[in-house]
Amino acid sequence: MCGIAAVFETSTSSDGQRDIEATLLEMLGRISHRGAAERFGERFIFSNAAIGTNRLPIVEREENNQPFIDKISGHAIIFNGEIYNLDELRLILLSQGVEFLGCSDTELVLRAYIHWGRSCLNRFNGIFAFIIYSPEDNTVFAARDRLGVKPLYWAQVGSVLYFASELKALIGLTNKTQEILPGYYWEDGRQKAYYLISESIERKLDCKSAVAKCNELLHLSVKRQVNTDLPVGVVFSGGLDSAIILYLANLYHNNVTAYTVGVPGSSDVVFAQRLCNELGIKIVFCDVDRADLMQSIRTHIYVSEQFEPVDITDALTINAAFSRMKEDGIRIALSGDGSDELFAGYDFFQGVIDRRALQLHKVRNLYRTDLQRVDRMSMFNTVECRVPFLDKDLFDFIISLPMEFHVRDDFTKALLRDAFSLELPDYITRRPKMRMSEGSGIGGLIFDVLQSMNESLDNKPFPLEDDAVNNAALIFQEFGFGLPTSRYKIQGLDYHSGGWTTSKTADIDKNLISHPAIQG
């Protein structure tokens, strides 16, 4: 994992080598947190281009320098991400006569692109954003993973192209930035889709078979994503999703630690402590720093590059876990993000008429909400966070299933609960969805502070919305970020009034804690 940035002079008559290198270093400086300090500014300067990274070494840590340049074709690549089927693809390429210098993801992606062209994108099972430059004809190819786990932005000012992992790297260069969309590649100034989420439903499979397949694919997903000799941290809320990830990570890796955010006695702390005690897993508790919440909120708006109060609250909450991981020397983390959207975990799925439309809305929106928050907050702490629920094989299977598999009786996420009912205790598989901020005991604290901030609201960015989102949006703009024309989240589909789940959820949680017979 790393932060990547690039500057390209598309007019070959320009001689701006000194300027573009300085610009590149300035861009990388704004996202220095995305790599190890000793790996800052790894770069290569061409006559019309400057490309570089701040690298967080994970695979082939000593030899995997970037940019990687193919000596025969001259193609150069900067890469951010992980390819989980690296070994399989490497064997295929070797069998077809492709030669390798090492075993890194970065080299594999470049070799795959040179050998297969843009069709290589459909072969990758992983999370990635990368840029390939051909100095021979001064052309650029860039791409992003299917669901947008890893970010990539671009802008053009005159004849100069800019690319970067975060918006803040482009501040001051232009106020007209664009995001490369999930499942898209960029070529010749245009974005084109190589993957679109399928809307078709597979109705030949019965629910029992789907449950068994889901269990199998989740085992494979986590096993692939903990294939490392480094220690692994798991963001663990004590809920179903993160409990599954923690249980499987501990099954396939010998050095796993759970990190739980919450105040003593809060629901998340109680559930997390009990499961870790039963499984014999080390657990670390951490909490949100309340010393100067107003300043902390401003910082997290800048870091997360978000203005939605719900996202800011979650960013503050999860940052406590990633910050502690950084202190403990953890470089690789897993989280349960994506599960509620894919498996219909939110209470909205119980009341909505068209559950399929809601599911598609949520998974298509992940890249600029939950996944953006996880990427920014983990990388701000120089931690690589992986999301096993969005594994390519698992996602394609689950998104094809009928919604009645997911929502049954009084339970959302029914299929996922059934898939692990024999491996996890009832008090976990029956626990209802609760936002991390609510379960940790933080509740509406951040929302209340945002609501009461003394920002100037004479010119509200969103006139029909409450003060909390308008205050956050104004701070967002102060940092130089451009607001979209409309909000990404919709009340009734993405959040309740005030941004929190219903009190019914908290009542069910209390019953699960207080009745040993229900806990199993």
Please, what's the b/e burial string for 213-236 (b: 16 or more CB within 10 A of its CB; e: otherwise)?
bbbebbbbbbbbbbebebbbbbbb
- Cβ–Cβ < 8 Å for 190, 31: no
In angstroms, the CA 500 to CA 27 distance is 37
Spatial CB neighbours of 57, under 8 Å, sequence gap ≥ 6: 36, 39, 64
Pairing of strands 49-55, 2-9: antiparallel
Amino acid at 155: A
Residue list for the binding site for L-glutamine: 105
Report residue 82 as tokens.
């992980």
Pairing of strands 139-144, 126-134: antiparallel
- Cβ–Cβ < 8 Å for 162, 168: no
DSSP track, 124-154? --EEEEEEEEETTTTEEEEEE-TT-SS--EE
HSE, CB side, 13 Å, CA atoms: give it for residue 229: 4
| CA distances from residue 191 to 143, 179, 269, 363 in whole angstroms, order as listed | 9, 10, 45, 20
Report the DSSP beta bridge partners of residue 28. none
In angstroms, the CA 434 to CA 275 distance is 17
Query: Can you list the positions of beta strands (E) in 23-73?
Result: 42-45, 49-55, 68-69
Residue list for the binding site: 105, 261, 335-336
Residue list for the binding site for ATP: 261, 335-336
Catalytic residue IDs: 2
Which sign, positive or negative, has the C-alpha torsion 236, 241, 244, 249? negative
Farthest CA pair distance, the chain: 77
DSSP track, 247-268? HHHHHH-S-EEEEEE--TT-HH
* Backbone phi and psi for residue 399, each to the nearest 5 degrees, phi listed first: -65, -15
In angstroms, the CA 131 to CA 67 distance is 10
